[in-house]
Amino acid sequence: MTAKSVLLDAQQLLDPALEHTLIIVKPDGFARGLTGEIIRRIESKGYTIKGLKLMVASKELLAEHYRDHKDKPFFPGLVEFMGSGPVVAIIVEGQRVVEGMRNLMGATDPTTAAAGTIRGDLGRAWNTPHMENLVHGSDSADSANREITLWFPEIY
Ligand code: DAT
Ligand code: MG
């Protein structure tokens, strides 16, 4: 027997009264087996997972995702790293979730990110040209909407 599934669309899936953000467990987080720990922290905070998938992101998707950084010196290395292995893309829902997730993630540089945060507790500098900091989280409600549409086009 073949199992059949029905894909929910954004209207059914996402509560319009709540805020949403796009979280990505980056290739370093997935390779280190930290996906569960990162999801545990998101759920323990009280936020709800509304979409989740394991994928290898294309260069095109990543260039669009990081378009605001396209003139930065680290852009080529960032896109290369983000496409170097599987990532887990997650839609997270809750009141003020964009701000709340940025707080849970900690500062960009994992060496100085505060203890207690995902990057501060689980991340560190390595001997790599790019920065490995385990997670991405949208930086505003507008970015979140753009990024969710980009990473989950199948629900629109
Ligand atoms: P964040 O991921 O905290 O939103 P960002 O948007 O400024 O940070 O940068 C996107 C990613 O690019 C970041 O997660 C890691 C990488 N990055 C940022 N600044 C960098 C730098 N100075 N050198 C190398 N990589 C950097
Ligand atoms: Mg950012």
What is the distance in A from the centroid of ligand 1 to the CA of 135? 11
The pair of structure tokens assigned to 151 is 């990473």
Mind listing the pLDDT tens digit for each residue in 63-100? 999 999 999 999 999 999 999 999 999 999 999 999 99
CATH number of this structure's domain 17-155: 3.30.70.141
CA atoms of 16 and 20, how far apart (whole Å):
9
Decide if pLDDT at 10 tops 90: yes
Q: Which atom of ligand 1 is nearest to the CA of 107?
A: 3
Helices (H), the chain: 10-13, 27-31, 35-45, 59-65, 75-82, 97-105, 118-122, 141-151
The reply to whether ligand 1 has any atom less than 6 angstroms from the CB of 58 is no
- Name the average pLDDT for the chain: 97
Q: Is the CB of 131 under 6 A from ligand 1?
A: yes
SS3 53: strand
Give per-residue pLDDT as tens, 46-61: 999 999 999 999 999 9
Ligand 1 contact via 78 beta carbon (within 6 Å): yes
